[in-house]
Every structure is written in C-alpha cells, then in structure tokens.
Amino acid sequence: MLLIVLLAICAAVTLVLVGILVQAGRLAWLMTVVTRLPVVGHPAELGIGFEDVGFPSRYDRVLLSGWYLPATPDTRCIILIQGYGHHRNSPAARALQLGGSLVGRGFSVLLFDFRGRGESGGRRGSAGDREQWDVLGAIDYVARRGIPVERIALLGFSLGAGVAIMVAAQESRIAAIVSDSGFLDSMEDLENLSLFGLPLPSWFGVPILVIGRTIFGVDVSKVRPVKVVENIAQPIFFIHGEDDDVIPADETWELHRVSAGRQDEIWVVPGAGHIASHRRMPDEYAKRVADFFQRHIK
C-alpha cells in the first residue's frame, strides 16, 4: 500500500513538473514569435529622398533591410527603432512621416526592420536581446557612411525604446536618446505573468528564462533598462502617452527618476495611447524631438 502511495505521489509530481516545463516552453517560444508584416508605405509616396540599404547585425551577421533618408548635409543621423511587432514604417508611430520631418530639420534618418520583421533576415525575434545587436549593426552602418558615432542618436518606440537604452549603455559615444513609450524591466515582466487570467508564481519566470536561453537563444535578463539607465551619461528625452494601456506612463516616470541625468527631459502627452504621441501631436512632437537632438548632437 505504501509503495502504491509513493508511486502515485511520484506520478503526480512528474505530471506537475511536465506541466510546468510545457507551459514554460510555450511562454519562452511566444517571446520569440513575431509576425512578418509586409512593409507598407514608401518614402517616394511622401516625396522623401531615400536609399534602399542593407547591413548586417553586429555579431551574428543577420542581414537587415531599411531606408536611409539623407539630409543635406549628411553629417548627423537619427536611427529610428521600431516596436516589437512593427516594421520600419510603423503606422502606429507614423515613423516615415516623422523621419521626413527630421530630414526637413537637418537630420539624416535610418529606418530599418528588426530581425524577423519586414524585409530583414532571420525567422524569430528575441524580446529585445539580439535586437540590440541589430541596432549596433545600424550604428556600424551609419559610421561606415562617414558619420562619426558621436553624431548619431537613437529614437526608439516601445521595445525599441528599451533597446535604445540598453545600446546606449554599451556605446557611450552615442550622442543622445529619445525613449518613446519605454518600459522598466523584462525580468519583472517574467515575474508577473498570468495564465488563463490567473497570476503565476514569481518563480515561474526561472524555467522560462532557462528554456529561452538554451532552446531559443533569448536572454531577457539582458533587457533591463531600469538597471542600466542610471549609468548612461548621454541625455535622454523620455516621452510617453498619458493614456497608454500597454505600458503605463508610470514606467517612464520611474526611468526618468532613476536616470536623474541633468540634461534629461520628460514629456507625458495628454490623451495619447501607446506609441501614439507623434500621431496625436505630429508637429509638436517633431519640433520637440528635433530641438532636443539639435541641442545635443554637436
């Protein structure tokens, strides 16, 4: 009888462990899934001069595609960094219209697709981990065009905002950063997951992290903007929509508080949703961003 009870307990424990691993594997897989949306819109439709460009991600050499919008003179550049599921011309952020506005104000602009998105190579995303390599590859590309890294700045939306902060912590020569609809910490997100509407225990993030690293090559412990932002010397302009229901504006307020840079700025846009500040106030947005970059790209 005792043996039967022990076997039943072992079977139950095994089922629980298998269930945990299956769900953790599923959630780790979901972190890497992106839908490759076709790139819609084109610079020519807006009368913007452009070049079709391609360049490799810095470390694994995944080929990335984009548009380079040259200003005259072509001596400083803003790299626009998309959100999680978007291509280079994010309609939510009206990225191409913003790029054209910045070119009109004297800044060249690079818009490109992350790995697994748009027309870039790769089949999966990495929740902001290897996307950092993509942005570093974009910086390398602009530098090869002859623009010093000290005259390159980053403007990121949502996931791209977090990636911009992570990259700036690695590349101290970058001139300045605009973080639009940024987030605090991917590890905290792992600790606050739910399944079928029920919160999962905080330790559930551990098997997700391990499976993500070993099977999918994703390490979200490398995507923690709040852990690096205080070490960034470059000025940061934090922007967030007051009515963002995807990432609360409180997260940007906290990033701004932790950063505490003397030249940092923050603008919480009334009535704007997630990455919708430019769409809501296009002229004011373009002016504020351009003025910020004008002050800090020497």
Residue type for 15, please? L
Q: What is the pLDDT of residue 12?
A: 55
- Beta strands at 108-112 and 177-180: parallel, antiparallel or unpaired: unpaired
Query: If we measure between CA atoms, which residue out of 106, 114, 107, 70 comes closest to residue 89?
Result: 114
CA dist list (Å): 291 to 16, 47, 135, 139, 149: 56, 23, 23, 22, 19
**Predicted local distance difference test score (pLDDT) of residue 194:** 61
Give the C-alpha separation, 167 to 228, whole Å.
Answer: 10
- Name the helix (H) or strand (E) containing 270: none
Question: In this predicted structure, what is the pLDDT of residue 239?
Answer: 98
What is the number of alpha carbons within 13 Å of residue 169 lying toward its C-beta?
18
How far is Cα of residue 180 from the mean position of the Cα atoms in its chain?
10
Instruction: Specify the residue for token string 């800044």.
Output: 107
Q: Domains in the chain, ordered, with CATH?
A: 41-183+223-296 (3.40.50.1820)
State the pTM of this model: 0.90
pLDDT computed for residue 260 by the predictor: 81
What's residue 34's pLDDT? Answer: 83
Query: CB under 8 Å to 232, separation ≥6 — which residues?
Result: 165, 168, 169, 177, 259, 261
Residue 247 DSSP code: S
- The per-residue pLDDT for 25 is 63
The per-residue pLDDT string of the chain (298 residues; one tens digit each, 9 = 90 and over) reads 666 656 556 655 556 555 556 666 666 666 677 888 889 999 999 999 999 999 999 999 999 999 999 999 999 999 999 998 889 998 888 999 999 999 999 999 999 999 999 999 998 888 899 999 999 999 999 999 999 999 999 999 999 999 999 999 999 999 999 999 999 998 776 666 666 566 666 666 677 777 777 887 888 889 999 999 999 999 999 999 999 999 999 999 999 999 988 899 999 999 999 999 999 999 999 999 999 999 999 8
Contact 292, 105 (CB under 8 A): no
